[in-house]
Amino acid sequence: MIVPKKIYYRVALALLVLFILTIAVAFVHLGPFNVYIAVTIAVIKATLVVLYFMHVRYHTRLTWIFASAGFLWLIILFVLTLADYATRS
Amino acid sequence: MTTLNEPLYRDDYLNAGYGVKSWFLTLDHKRIAILYLISITFFFFIGGFFAVMLRLELMTPQGDIVTAETYNKLFTMHGIAMIFFFLIPSIPAVLGNFFVPMMIGARDLAFPRLNLFSWYLYNVGGLFTLYTMVTGGIDTGWTFYAPYSSSYTLSDPVPVVVGVFILGFSSILTGINFLVTIHKMRAPGLTWFRLPLFIWASYATSVIQVLGTPVVAIALVLLGFERLTGVGIFDPKLDGDPILFQHLFWFYSHPAVYIMILPSMGVVSEVVTCFARKRIFGYKFMAFAIMGIAVLGFLVWGHHMFISGQSIYAGLVFSALSFLVAIPSAIKVFNWTATLYKGQIEFRTPILYAFGFIGLFTIGGLTGLFLASLATDVHLTDTYFVVAHFHYIMVGGAVMGYLAGIHYWWPKMTGRMYHEGWAKFSALILFVGFNLTFFPQFILGFMGMPRRYYVYPPEYQVLNVMSTAGASILGLGYLIPMIYLLWSLRKPKTAGANPWNSTGLEWTTPSPPLPHNFDEVPEVTHEPYIYEGGSHPHAVPVSDHEAAHE
From the CA of B192, how many Å to the nearest CA of chain A?
Answer: 15
Q: Which residues of chain B have pLDDT under 50?
A: 1-2, 534-550
| Residues spanned by the domain of B312 | 24-549
Distance, CA of B422 to CA of B472 (rounded, Å): 18
Report the phi/psi class of residue B146: left, alpha or beta, with left for phi > 0 and alpha for psi in -120 to 50.
beta
Query: Is residue B419 a contact partner of residue B497, using CB atoms and an 8 Å limit?
Result: no
What gap in Å lies between CA B130 and CA B117, rounded to an integer? 20
Please give the distance of CA B424 from its chain centroid, rounded to a whole number. 21
Give the pLDDT confidence score for residue B6 in this predicted structure.
54
B/e letters for B205-238, b = 16+ CB within 10 Å, e = fewer, are bbbbbbbbbbbbbbbbebbbebbeeeebbbbeee
Tell me which chain A residues have a C-beta less than 8 angstroms from the C-beta of B314: 80, 83-84, 87
In this complex, which of B299, B301, B311 lies closest to A88 when CB atoms are compared? B311
> Contact B311/A69, CB-based, under 8 Å?
no
Q: Is residue B14 part of a domain?
A: no
Whole-number mean pLDDT of chain B? 93
**In sequence order, what are the beta bridge partners of B517?**
B514
Under a CB-based contact definition with an 8 Å cutoff, are residues B34 and B485 in contact? no
Q: Among all residues of chain A, which has the CA nearest to that of B300?
A: A80
Residue of A59, A68, A80 to mutate when probing chain B, most B C-beta within 10 A: A80
B256: closest CA among B386, B166, B403, B390?
B390
Which residues of chain B does A85 touch, with a Cβ-Cβ cutoff of 8 Å? 311
B110/B100 Cα distance (integer angstroms): 11
| Stretch A12-34: mean pLDDT | 94
Task: Give how many domains chain B has, as a whole number.
Answer: 1
Question: Quick check: is B1 in a domain?
Answer: no
| Closest to B109 (Cα-Cα) out of B122, B126, B92 | B92
Chain centroid offset of residue B303 CA = 21
- Whether residue B19 lies inside any domain: the answer is no
What is the reported pLDDT for A2?
A: 83
Shortest distance, CA A89 to any CA of chain B (angstroms): 7
> Any bridge partners for residue B450, and if so which?
B383
Q: Is residue B147 part of a domain?
A: yes
B301/A80 Cβ within 8 A:
yes
- Mutate one of A61, A71, A73 to test the B interface: name it (highest B CB count within 10 A): A73
CATH code for the domain in which residue B185 is found: 1.20.210.10
Cβ contact B314–A73 (<8 Å): no
Asked if B313's CB is within 8 angstroms of A87's CB, the reply is: yes
Q: Which residue in B116, B110, B27, B33 sits closest to B413, CA to CA?
A: B33
Q: Considering only alpha carbons, which residue of chain B is nearest residue A88?
A: B311
Q: Distance (Å, rounded) from C-alpha B302 to C-alpha B250?
A: 7
Residues of chain A that touch chain B, judged by Cβ-Cβ distance less than 8 Å = 62, 66, 69-70, 73, 76-77, 80-81, 83-85, 87-89
Task: Quote the pTM value.
Answer: 0.92
Residue B56 lies in a domain: yes
State how far the Cα of B521 lies from the Cα of A62, in Å rounded to an integer: 24
Q: Mind telling me how many Å the CA of A10 is from chain B's nearest CA? A: 31
**Cα(B475)–Cα(B477) distance, rounded to whole angstroms?**
5
User: Over the stretch A36-48, which tens digit does the pLDDT of each residue have?
Assistant: 999 999 999 999 9
Q: Pick A76's closest partner by Cβ from B243, B298, B311.
A: B298
- Asked, for residue B402, whether it belongs to a domain, the answer is yes
Q: How many CB pairs under 8 A join A and B?
A: 42
CA dihedral sign, ordered A49, A53, A58, A60: negative
Compute chain B's Rg from CA coordinates.
23
Question: What is d(CA B301, CA B208) in angstroms, rounded to the nearest whole number?
Answer: 13
Q: How far is B120 from B36, CA to CA, in rounded Å?
A: 10
Amino acid at B371: L
**Contact (CB<8Å) B247/A81:** yes
Backbone angles phi, psi at B517, to 5 degrees: 70, -65
Q: Find the CB nearest B299 among A66, A70, A76.
A: A76
Q: Which of B100, B86, B245, B241 is nearest to B171 (CA)?
A: B86
Confidence class for position A62, pLDDT limits 50, 70, 90: very high
B383 beta partners = B450
